[in-house]
Chains A and B, each alone.
Chain A
Amino acid sequence: MRIYHPLALRRRAKDLVFATGVVLATLIIAFFRLQVLQSDDWVLRASSNRVRVLPVPAPRGTIYDRNGIIIADNVPGYSITVLPGPVDSVRATLTRMSEHIELSDLQIERILAQLRRFGREVVIDSDADFDVVSKIEERRAEFPGVYIDMRPRRRYNLGASGAHVTGYVGEITADELEMEMFPDSVYSPGVIVGKIGVERQYESLLQGRQGVRWVEFDARGRIVGDFAGVERTAPVEGKDLHLNLDSGLQQWIHRIFPDSMSGAVVALDPKDGGVLALYSAPGYDPNAFVGGIDTETWAGLNENDQKPLFNRSVLGLYAPASTWKLASAGIALDAGVVTPDEVMPDPCEGQWYWGNRFWGCWDRQGHGYNTLAEAIGNSCDVYFYQLGLRLGLQRLLDRSTDIGFSQQCGVDLPQESSGIFPEGPQFWQELYGYRPTEGEALNLAIGQGPNSQTPLKMAQFYVALARNGSAPAPVIAKGVASSEDWQLDLAPEHLESLQEGLRMVTAPGGTAHFGTALEHWEVIGKTGTGQNPLSVRGLAQDHAWFAGMAGPPGEPPEIVLVAIVEYGESGGQVAAPIVAKAADYYLRSKRGMPIDTIQTYREHILSGPVPQWYRDRFPRGFAIEVEEQTTLAAAVEGGS
């Protein structure tokens, strides 16, 4: 048999033609499926392949202070974003990136997980330095799938001094996305939102609405241009916010607050409850949070014993101590159990015997017979023990609860502590398991016992004293209606006597005179020495309080201030000068007066002779101390 017989070859050729036909027909069928039957799917896939919707972040609204000075605004910042891609190549890209920006292995894995989970771009640095950006742009080819764009970046002009008011912004978290206050229509992963402070409180106002742009990418993640098919939607800028805050005052308080000490200062406008200053020390730089805080700074803030992130002005709870005596006095006057001019039956002899025990006065020397104003001026405990007894525990609790000492002020901040004050006898029963005796009224009357208040709460109470007994809730934002929260029915002459008591504290001979006497203004207020867990055991000093108000002499006060310095020991020497100087700054700048000569009387006489204005304003005080400059300085140093 010839294997290459022409007929055999023809048959084999025919078979092979058939086989070839089958193979090619299979291919054509495959292409028919792809290009005709399934083409719609692939067309869709092609456009999603190369066109991506990128968010165009909206600039947040600007935050202004009461004088129109910018507290928080936006500056252009560079943001580095990575697009989803093959896991290994994205990881390699990010690893290369970590040579230029801070990016730990853990963060890289987190970014990869996010890319996988959401299947959309992830911002890896929303605040890149310009030189980092230019380095990356130079080596564009090494960073496929990475793009850099300009985004508005938040800037806090007050820095650390205003941190506790402004708060800060950060990228929205997965938990926040679930919250009702972040509706899906506005918020999506990657959006920058207020985290705390005013930024959080007024988030919906400041946010605006992010726009979108449709961008065409090539396979390496390079932006080729805006996609022609769809119009871009411009972002809508957030609305501006005007605050009652005085940014100058806020910064001034930051400057005069004792270095390295912790504490808080609150300044309110007695006219409307507007918050003029809300300061908590130590602060932190909110700008560090913009674009993601680096781990080192974050750890530093959290490990700091002084807790800089803790807003003491609205969250810190302190025993109000003697500053609370005004509340006892006000309630007693309101209830009619004392009159301004009467004296208590027992004089102060440094201690008082009641209920089988001695109750001490802070001054073992005793204060003798005191009127209400004198008792306030001397902070006489014995007087207030008797006042507390006259009021009776139940009435004291009821009235204090009525005026809100166990509640929040309702300030426009996302977080605020409620005051701690017993609303009734069950408080003791639940907490300690016994029925309170009338003796509790003695403790509560002098600001001790189970009573802790925030500095803001005390400031609100002093606003009531500066007005007619009513105090609106403090408000930070301008134009927000404040409810008239507190009502203390005080007759004008009662109010007068309380203020007179406060005046005695700062008058010559008063405990806070040296630190509060000012050239132009009258400061009146009350010192307080707050016991704390450490000071009770003799391990640290007491907290120093001063709560007061200031204005031109003989006129109604224009500013109410409360300062507390933790472990500051002396309200008169440490807290009072802060209040006086802050008031001086505010009242001067309000009138356009120079602010570079602010000094308390104490500072004056420590550095030079008794100034003429002091002789004029306080002839009595001058008479006391005129004899000898040295005695004077000694008195200053030794004062209570």
Chain B
Amino acid sequence: MSFSEKWAIDRRLVSATLFLSLFGIAMIYSAGQVEVPNVVTERAWLSQLRWLLVALLGFTVLSRIPMPWIEWAAHPIYVLGIILLGVTLIIGEGRGTAAGVKSFIRLGGFGFQPAEIAKIATILWLAQNLSDRDSPLRTLRDLVKPGAIVALPLGLVMLQPDLGTSLAFVGILFAMLYWAATPVWLLALVASPVVGLFLAYDTVVWSTYILIVIACMVLFLRSRLFLFESVALVLANFASATLARPLWNSLANYQRNRILVFLDPEVDPRGAGYQVIQSKVAIGSGEFWGQGFTQGAQKRLDFLPEQHTDFIFSVVGEELGFVGTTLLILLFGYVLIRLLRLAAVSDSSFAGLSLLGIFGAWLVHVLVNIGMTAGVVPVTGIPLPFVSYGGTFLVMSWVAVALAVRLSHERI
């Protein structure tokens, strides 16, 4: 292959993500335009612009690293990520409204989120592990190792506690397992105790659910499951149902409220439901064409919560209207599908799996972040890739882009 081919990058993916980043800076600028100005939010866009320059620099360097180096580095990076997460639990600190969440490590003048590094590290190390296989994962035992690779950082992030980011790990795991030819029914069975956890609020509902699960195992999956697997899954379901109440009680008040409010924001319009309602008010009042860039009234009057970070999409909705939200969602769709396309044509299973990990993480981010602004998923603190204000996340997203273009274009 020619030199230019070897060093070529996927222009479409990079253009789309670069556009998203610049668009994000514009929206962060707009989010700072309020009636009662605040120095920090007013200048956030400048800070984000500086981070973008850092990210692009990192991108330029990383996108030139040969794939074998990346494969070789996967394990050390993973170990480093786990250590950083561990350290975070000890010396981490919170930020802004998530002050109670220990997610930042402060180094000198700036802080960063180890969870973002751990995400990339987990993707690489899991890709490394799954790429060696030549047969699909068919039994629970097969899933133990990949499960453990993801569960470790996921658990550490949960301890921070950062529910939103831990969801991204779930996305990574499932997307990559699917890519490694794990049957959907097995994935569904693995997920069944988690689903059961949420259904356990009502004994009748849960009983019906567990009967359906058992019926499926008996009727369709008898030949594919070992007995001990079936027993283990049923036991896991019972365990999660039993744990539901203590787990619910151990949740912080704000977390419980978020779930209750998701079911009906109006139960507490001035308390936990406030964010969702204000976000919907802003988005809904954007109507079809939007109120115009920087012109959003709810945003200007500070009604929007977290308007330059987690709820930046509400600003988009208010100022750019349905046209803006649809185009932005489609653009994310383009990026996600581009990742799938690159993975599909990749010669390397490591490359494909890594791309799928990135895909899984971003899909969760996009779905949960955008979904919560419209009230279709519960509110969890999770940023919108490239658009939300936040240095570490922007840089690591660009690291992911660099990996994606590097891995996808390197022919072995």
Contacts and interface: CB of A to CB of B under 8 A. Distances in A.
Interface of A: 1-4, 6, 8-10, 12-13, 16-17, 20-21, 23-24, 26-28, 30-32, 34-36, 38-39, 41-43, 45-46, 49-50, 84-89, 216-220, 222, 224
B76 to A, nearest CB: 25
B208 interface: no
A35 B287 CA distance: 4
Interface of A, helix, strand, loop or mixed by DSSP: helix
Interface in B46-69: none
B178 interface: yes
Nearest to A31: B325
B285 A3 contact: no
B303 A49 contact: yes
A608 B107 CA distance: 97
A21 B336 CA distance: 10
A216 B300 CA distance: 11
Contact of B301 (A4, A36, A85, A216): A216
A94 B336 CA distance: 50
A43 B321 CA distance: 12
B303 A28 contact: no
Contact of A219 (B288, B303, B333, B374): B303
B221 interface: no
B333 A20 contact: yes
A220 B36 CA distance: 10
A220 B349 CA distance: 53
Contacts of B112: none
A16 B340 contact: yes
B297 A30 contact: no
B332 A24 contact: yes
B27 to A, nearest CB: 16
B363 A23 contact: yes
Given A34-B374, A217-B301, A28 B326 contact: yes
Contact of B281 (A8, A45, A86, A218): A45
A85 B284 CA distance: 22
A302 B304 CA distance: 50
Nearest to A26: B376
Quick one: which of B35, B133, B321, B341 has the most chain A CB within 10 A? B35
Contacts of B337: 17, 20
Contacts of A4: 131, 349, 352
B270 interface: yes
Contacts of A3: 133-136, 180-181
B93 interface: no
A26 B367 CA distance: 10
Nearest to A21: B333
B270 A36 contact: no
Given A20-B340, A88-B271, A39 B288 contact: yes
A39 B302 contact: no
A17 B356 CA distance: 12
B134 A43 contact: no
B317 interface: yes
A453 to B, nearest CB: 59
A85 B322 CA distance: 30
A26 B285 CA distance: 20
Nearest to B337: A17
B354 interface: no
B371 interface: yes
30 contacts: A3-B133, A9-B179, A9-B346, A12-B178, A12-B179, A12-B344, A13-B341, A13-B343, A16-B175, A16-B340, A17-B337, A24-B329, A28-B330, A30-B374, A32-B322, A34-B280, A35-B284, A35-B286, A35-B321, A36-B288, A39-B287, A42-B284, A42-B285, A45-B285, A49-B281, A50-B297, A50-B301, A89-B270, A217-B301, A222-B36
B302 A10 contact: no
B282 interface: yes
A561 B270 CA distance: 63
Nearest to A41: B284
Nearest to B34: A218
Contacts of B402: none
Nearest to B181: A3
